[in-house]
Amino acid sequence: MSKKQATKNKNGTIAQNRKARHEYFLEDRYEAGLALQGWELKSIREGKVNLSDSYVILHNGEAFLLGAQIQPLNSASTHVVCDPERSRKLLLHKRELSKLIGLKEREGYTLVATAMYWKACWVKLEFHLAKGKKSYDKRDDIKDRDWSREKERMMKHSKH
């Protein structure tokens, strides 16, 4: 990572899925490495990542990231086939995988990708064990957020 990119984003965050906090109740947080190709890493360095509709599936005892888009650069090599929406394998320990498989199958959870970031020189994916929200849960969240914003305004005006 060059100095220019390091100063551009202090905390190392590449992309976030902000919609996930609105759509799901996020519970347990997990971190996994990603098996990437060379062109993907170059695109990630340029920030051409979209996690808005991405989720994690478990298949044959392995975890895969689906729905994440990594757009290839224009200057990418012509002999490499670039698929922006390919499934990418997540690197997790066996005990983490078995725990996730059990929770997902028994209790009806889903695994939602929430952020992609740099950790030293590796790209890591943060995902959460999540349950879907109903429309009335979303309305409650919006009402709470509006009330806290209004409360801040009232406190700010009462000081003056």
Tokens (6 digits) for 119: 């950790």
Alpha-helical segments (H) within 1-160: 3-8, 19-23, 38-45, 94-107, 135-159
Q: CA 112, CA 21: separation in Å to the nearest integer?
A: 10
- Please name the residues in contact with 119: beta carbons below 8 A apart, sequence gap of 6 or more: 12, 31
Q: Is the dihedral of CA 131, 83, 41, 98 positive or negative?
A: positive
Residue 75 in any domain: the answer is: yes
147: in domain = no
For residue 68, is it within any domain? yes
> Domain range holding 44?
7-133
Question: What total of structural domains would you count in the chain?
Answer: 1
pLDDT of residue 160: 61
111 in a structural domain: yes
For residue 4, pLDDT beyond 70:
no
> N- to C-terminal Cα distance for the chain?
47
User: Is residue 105 situated within a structural domain?
Assistant: yes
pLDDT 10s digits, 47-58: 889 998 898 999
In a domain, 149, yes or no: no
Q: Is position 126 within any domain? A: yes
152 domain residue, yes or no? no
Identify the CATH number of the domain in which residue 73 sits: 2.40.280.10
pTM (global) more than 0.85? no
> pLDDT tens digits for 65-122?
999 888 888 775 666 778 778 889 999 999 999 888 888 877 778 899 999 999 988 9
